[in-house]
Amino acid sequence: MAYTAIEKMRRENEKRFGKDIGPKQPPLYREPGKEYNLKCAALRMLHGRCEELLFDPAAEEAERGGVYLGKSLSAGQIPFNMQRDIDRLCLEKALEAFFDSGVAEDAYTVYYCYLAMFLGRYGNSKRMVELLSEYESNGSSLLMKHRDHYSHSVYVFALGLAIYETNEAYRRAFIDFYGLNDRSEHEAANCFLEFWGLTALFHDIGYPFELPFEQVLSYFEVDHLERGKGCLYLAYHDVNMLTALDEAAQAHFESLYGKRFATTSALLAHDLYCKLGEAYGFSESYLLGELDRKPTDPSRFGYFMDHAFFSAARLYSELAEELGASKLTKLHVDALSAIVLHNSLYKFSIAFYKDKDRRKAPLRADLHPLAWLLMLCDELQCWDRTAYGRNSRTELHPMAADFDFSGGLLSAVYYYDQEEQEKISAFKEQYRLWEESGEQGKPPRLKAYSDMAEKEQRFTADIEKIVDTSFIPLRIVPDVRPADRRCKHIYLSDSNFLHLYDFAVALHGRNMPPETTTEELEAKFDAQSLEYQISGINRAKNFGRYLNAIGCFYTDRPVDYEMLHAFTPEQMAVVAPLEHERWVLEHQQMGWRFGTDYETLPVKGSTIEEKRRERGTLREQLRCHKLAMDGKPTEEEICRHYFTLSEEDQGKDWRPFNGMLRLLRKFDGLRIYRLS
C-alpha cells in the first residue's frame, strides 16, 4: 500500500463508523504500454518506493490518546504521519504537473514541496531559489550562450528518480555505498530521495556568480575576440566570507572526519580525495588548490568561472542556517561534493576527459553514487530548455525527448522542431560531402543535432568518457516532429514567476486588516499544511489564465495601460467558473471524493461551534467534500456544476481575488492592467 498512513486512517474510520467511507488511496499515474518511460518511472518511484517518508514513530505513539498532531486546513486535524503521506502526494502531483508542461512555474512547485518537506518551510529559502531564476530571466540575454537551469534541474531530478526506480545495478550501488543493506527497501528509497533531491535540485544555484563573469566576456566576444585573451574578465576575492566554517561547524566536521577544516572547500576536497584520490591519483592538497583557484584565477581554467563551486558553497550556507551545521551528516557533505564535482572539476582537473594522453577512466557509480548520477543526468538533460543567450536563441536544440528505461538500458529519442528541417537537411548534405571527400578537416556541425546524428556519436561518446555506463548502456538517436507548445499555457501576464509565493500569501490573507505586515501574512499562510499552501500557489499560477480570459494581465514592470483596482461583476462571472474548475481537478488529483458524510455522521461537541469544528476536522480525515466531483468531468460539466452551487459557495471562487488587489502592493510592485 503506497500511502500507508492514509490507509490506516481509512481503516480507523471504517471501525469508527461501521462502513468504508475513506479516505481513498491516491491512484498511481499510468500510461498503458509506457511503464518504463521517464514520467511513469519517476512518479512510480515516488508513489511506490517511498512509503513512510519522514514518518515519526514517536508522534504515532503520542497520538494513541486520540489527540492528533498533524495539520491539514488547521493544526490537530489529522495524524502526523497522514500529513506526511499527503506531503509526499503533493510532491508526486507537483512533479506530474511539471511533466505535463515543463514550465518554470511548475518547476517552482516541485522546489516548494521539497524545501517544505526537507528544510522546514519554503519562505526561509526562497531567496536562494528565486535568485537563480531572476538572474537567468533578466540578465542572460546579455550572454552569447546560456540556457535555462531552473526547469533543467527539475528534469535532472526526475531522471535520477527514474534511473533509481528502473535500474537495479544503480540501486545496489547506492545501497551498498551507504550501508543500507539492513534497511527496508522504502527506507533506502527515502534516503535516496532526500539526498538526490538536494543534489539535483540545487546543483546549479551558483549560476548567479557565473553569469556576471560571462556578461563581461560577452561584451568582447561580440567583436569576435578570442575568449579571455586581451579581454577584461572578473575574478572573486574575499571568498572566505562564503566558504568559511565557524568554530562550531569545524568541531562538528572534525567529529565526523577526524580532521579539522577551515572552509567548505577544504571539507569537500577531503571528501573527494577519500572517495576518488586513489583511483585517480591526486592528492588532497592538489584538489584543494584547484578549488581555491576556481573563483580567484579563472585564467587557469580557460577563462571559465565554475558555478558548481558557488553552488556547493551557497547550499552549505543554506543548510547550516536552516538545519544547523551540527545536524549535517556525511550524506549532506556527499551531496555538496557531488555538486562541486559535476561541472568542470571532475572533467578537467581529475579525469581530463578531453585529453587523450592524460584521460582517466570514467567515474564509476560505486565510487560516488550521487556524483555519478548527477553527471549522467546533467548531460542527458538537454531538451526543452529556454534559450536566453544571443547565440543560443538561434541554435538548434532538442525540444522534447522520449526515454525508455526497460531492460536495464537507457534509450532516448531527442526530438527537434520540424520547422528546422531545412537546417537539418543542409547539415546532412554537408556531412555526406565531408565523408565523400575522405573526411578531410573538421566535420560539419549543427550544435546538438550533429552530436547525436553523426557517426562519431559525440553526444553519447562524451557521456561515456565522463561516467561509466557499462551497467546502463546508452542508446541515443535524434528525430524531428512538429512543435506543440499548447501545454505551456503562455499568457501575457509576466512577473518572472517570482511572485507566486507572494501572490498566494496575499490571496490567503485577503481578509486581514490593512496594517497587517508581510511577516504576519506569511505566518498565516504557513500555518496551513503543505497541501493547502500548494493549492494557494496553484490558484496564483492560474491567475494569468483568468486575467487572459477577461482581457487583463499582471506585471511588475511599469506599462502604459489602465490599472485595474477592482474586478467588475461581469469579470468575476468569467473568472469564478475557471477557478472552480481548477479547484475540482486539483482535489481529484489529490485523492478527494465527493461526499457529505462529514455533515451527517455523529460528532462530538455540545455547542454549534464545537460541532462545526468537528465536522471540519472529519472532512479532512475522510477527504471528501460536498463541492468535489467524481469521475472524469469535462470543462463544460464542471462549469455547469458551478452554476448549481449556492450563492455562498460560488462566492468562494471569486471573492478572494478582489480582496487580494490591495495586498499585492505589499509585494514588489505587482500590478494588474486592462488591455483596453
Domain ranges of the chain: 107-394, 408-485, 491-592+628-676
Q: pTM for the complete prediction?
A: 0.93
pLDDT at 208 over 70: yes
Q: Report the interhelical angle of 518-526 vs 530-541 (nearest 10°).
A: 120
List the one residue out of 671, 653, 667 whose CA is nearest residue 565: 671
Q: Report the interhelical angle of 369-380 vs 330-342 (nearest 10°).
A: 40
**What is the distance between the alpha carbons of residues 605 and 275, in angstroms, rounded to a whole number?**
61
Which range has the worst mean pLDDT, 146-150, 161-165, 398-402? 146-150
pLDDT of residue 517: 85
pLDDT band at 148 (very low <50, low <70, confident <90, very high): low
pLDDT at 217 over 70: yes
Q: Report the interhelical angle of 330-342 vs 264-280 (nearest 10°).
A: 70
Which range has the worst mean pLDDT, 19-23, 164-168, 444-448, 595-599? 444-448
**Do 250 and 267 form a contact (C-beta atoms < 8 A)?**
no
pLDDT at 447 over 80: no
**What is the distance between the alpha carbons of residues 110 and 93, in angstroms, rounded to a whole number?**
9
The partner residues of 593 in beta bridges, in order of sequence, read: 624
pLDDT at 387 over 70: no
Kindly report, residue by residue over 606-658, the tens digit of the pLDDT.
898 999 999 999 999 999 999 999 999 999 999 999 999 998 888 887 777 77
Which of 144-148, 196-200, 629-633 has the highest mean predicted lDDT (pLDDT)? 196-200
